[in-house]
């Protein structure tokens, strides 16, 4: 498998770089998302290599410090409202700037998929749906409902996006934490897929 088209280094060298950025456990999860993304690409007629790379990189910035995220928000003049959120929202939306700086990724579809991997979006590309769903169903995930999400992903990416978003919102509401408006937009854009049989 060659990722060099998009990152200018082999997968092997990329893995070395990732090891210096994230914990072993996080890397295991990223490798799981890579594998699930490749699988979802294969059954949806999408480029498995591009999907695998996006999946592998999606949490690249997860372990940056809050200070680093806040500095990136300033440096790139991003929406100041972002500062009211935290790592959960930053590691995708702000993380893509770190990915561009460190890895030279320029492919806009890969960057958008990573940018929106936590919140989803009302207009996701096939790649964005693949990464969003793969993040939820990869082999290391164990939570009530993951089996149903895996089954839906076999049937329809859109249904899997809908299921994941509804369950994430339920989970966040249950924990009494703020929900990022874009997550609600995703829910509204996909809610109809929950009803179809």
Enumerate binding residues for Fe ion (CB under 5 A).
Answer: 59, 135
Q: Which is nearer to ligand GDP, 9 or 15 (CB)?
A: 15
| 118 is an interface residue for ligand GDP by CB under 6 A | yes
Q: Which is nearer to ligand GDP, 9 or 26 (CB)?
A: 26
DSSP-assigned states of every residue in the chain:
---HHHHSS-HHHHHHHHHTTS-HHHHHHHHHHHHHHHHHHHHTT--HHHHHHHHHHTTTTTT--HHHHHHHHHHTT--GGGGGS-HHHHHHHTHHHHHHHHH----HHHHHHHHTTTT--SS--HHHHHHHHHHHHSTT--STTHHHHHHHHHH-HHHHHHHHHHHHHHHHHHTT----HHHHHHHHHHGGGGT--
Q: Which does 119 bind (CB under 5 to 8 A by kind): Fe ion, ligand GDP, none?
A: ligand GDP
| 129 is an interface residue for ligand GDP by CB under 6 A | no
Alpha-carbon dihedral 120, 64, 29, 89, rounded to 10 degrees: -20
Q: Which does 183 bind (CB under 5 to 8 A by kind): Fe ion, ligand GDP, none?
A: ligand GDP
Choice from 21, 124, 128, 135 touching ligand GDP (CB under 6 A)? 135
| 179 is an interface residue for ligand GDP by CB under 6 A | yes
Q: Which does 88 bind (CB under 5 to 8 A by kind): Fe ion, ligand GDP, none?
A: ligand GDP
Choice from 93, 117, 129, 159 touching ligand GDP (CB under 6 A)? 117
Q: Which is nearer to ligand GDP, 19 or 171 (CB)?
A: 171
| Cα-based angle 53, 180, 22 (whole degrees, multiple of 5) | 35
Region from 101-109, 122-130, 170-178, 189-197 binding ligand GDP, contact rule CB under 6 A: 170-178
| 119 is an interface residue for ligand GDP by CB under 6 A | yes
Choice from 43, 71, 155, 177 touching ligand GDP (CB under 6 A)? 177
């Amino acid at each position: 498998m060659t990722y060099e088209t998009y990152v200018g280094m082999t997968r092997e060298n990329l893995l070395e770089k990732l090891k210096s950025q994230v914990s072993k456990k996080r890397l295991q999860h990223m490798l799981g998302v890579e594998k699930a993304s490749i699988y979802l690409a294969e059954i949806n007629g999408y480029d498995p290599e591009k999907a695998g790379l996006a999946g592998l990189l999606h949490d690249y910035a997860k372990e940056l410090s809050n200070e680093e995220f806040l500095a990136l928000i300033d440096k790139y003049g991003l929406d100041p409202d972002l500062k009211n959120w935290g790592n959960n929202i930053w590691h995708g939306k702000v993380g893509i700037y770190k990915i561009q700086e460190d890895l030279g990724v320029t492919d806009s579809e890969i960057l958008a998929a990573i940018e929106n991997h936590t919140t989803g979006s009302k207009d996701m590309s096939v790649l964005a749906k693949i990464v969003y769903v793969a993040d939820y169903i990869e082999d290391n995930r164990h939570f009530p409902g993951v089996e149903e999400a895996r089954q839906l992903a076999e049937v329809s990416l859109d249904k899997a996006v809908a299921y994941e978003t509804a369950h994430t919102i339920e989970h966040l509401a249950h924990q009494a934490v703020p929900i990022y408006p874009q997550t609600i937009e995703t829910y509204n854009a996909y809610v109809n897929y929950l009803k179809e049989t």
